[in-house]
Structure 1
């Protein structure tokens, strides 16, 4: 485990959390905007002023989630639910993958599960998400028991944006994949995701 990863796991000042949240917001919103430009006309593009986050972490998360909701809603109106979810998830996975690779470099994370779990906990702290890892009959399960974004996201936004989380895991460790099975925004008491080794 690198010194950078160890330090970041127990101490991240507020200004760094805000900076990293702004980065996540910018990348995910731009990813959705690119889809709107690709599949729609210029008149359907959402006002981009909400790319600038202001306030404390809670306020910034709300602004980001609202921006995601608006864009996902327009995408679904343009393409229909199934196509919008499919292309939206693909795009967000790629955004998350790049964010995960960048975080891996910054934190000095290595290819082991301990580093993956620690790095993921740092990124989730930025988003206001708490999770625990359980081993159930040899299956690695991530349980999200608190998600600040679940209060703001529509189920459709969560379905699409959770693919960014799955991409982050792959970016942090190429040998691992994650897939959500249950979401708070769909009425579950907790989010649940399975983490597996990538089969080549």
Structure 2
């Protein structure tokens, strides 16, 4: 396992957490075709709460135009893919286990408890956003999860089949990994 990921498993400096959250704000706002709200003066916890409220509000607005939802999800996916790809390169992710570790680190920044086994099963026991999102909002915004997973893995696919926002005890998804780019 590379040293950067080994360290990040245990500690991510607050300024890096906020930096990743600001990036998520920007890419989400871009997908919704708006500017992100001003968050520079907010602490990390306030910023995370502001993101939850912002993304929920924008997704609720999008639900009023159902014909636009698929194109919105494509934009969210595409933007998140770039974030995942950038993380893969900057963290030096080179194996499947490192990809899963990088996912855990990113999700921990977002106060999401993710576990994944060596097969394809992904479970989210606790999700900060489940207090803010309804099932339809979560379904739209999970395009971000799908995009980040694809970018981190070099083309894998994450598909949710249970969500906390649907009244389930946890989120469950299947992560199908393509051959990692360096394994071809």
TM > 0.5 fold call = yes
Aligned counterpart for 1:68 among listed residues 39, 55, 58: 55
State how far apart, in whole Å, the 1-side matches of 2:8 and 2:98 are: 12
TM (norm. structure 1) is: 0.81
Alignment correspondent of 1:125:
108
Matches within 5 A, 1:1-200: 1-33=1-33, 48=35, 50-52=37-39, 54-77=41-64, 79-80=65-66, 83-110=67-94, 112-134=95-117, 139-198=119-178
1:62-103 per-position Cα deviation (integer Å, ceiling 9, x unaligned)? 2111111221222222x22xx343222211111110010111
More helix by share: 1
In the alignment, is the contact (CA less than 8 A) between 2:29 and 2:36 conserved in 1? no
State how far apart, in whole Å, the 2-side matches of 1:20 and 1:132 are: 20
CA-based RMSD: 2.0
SS in 2 for 1:180: strand
Q: Residue 25 of structure 1: CA displacement?
A: 1.4
How many residues are matched? 179
Cα–Cα, structure 1 residues 67 and 51, in superposed 2: closer, same or farther, change >3 Å? farther
In the alignment, is the contact (CA less than 8 A) between 2:104 and 2:115 conserved in 1? no
SS in 1 for 2:120: strand
Unaligned runs of 5+ in 2: 180-184
Following TM superposition, where does structure 1 have runs of at least 4 consecutive aligned residues deviating by more than 6 angstroms? none
Unaligned runs of 5+ in 1: 35-47
State how far apart, in whole Å, the 1-side matches of 2:155 and 2:60 are: 34
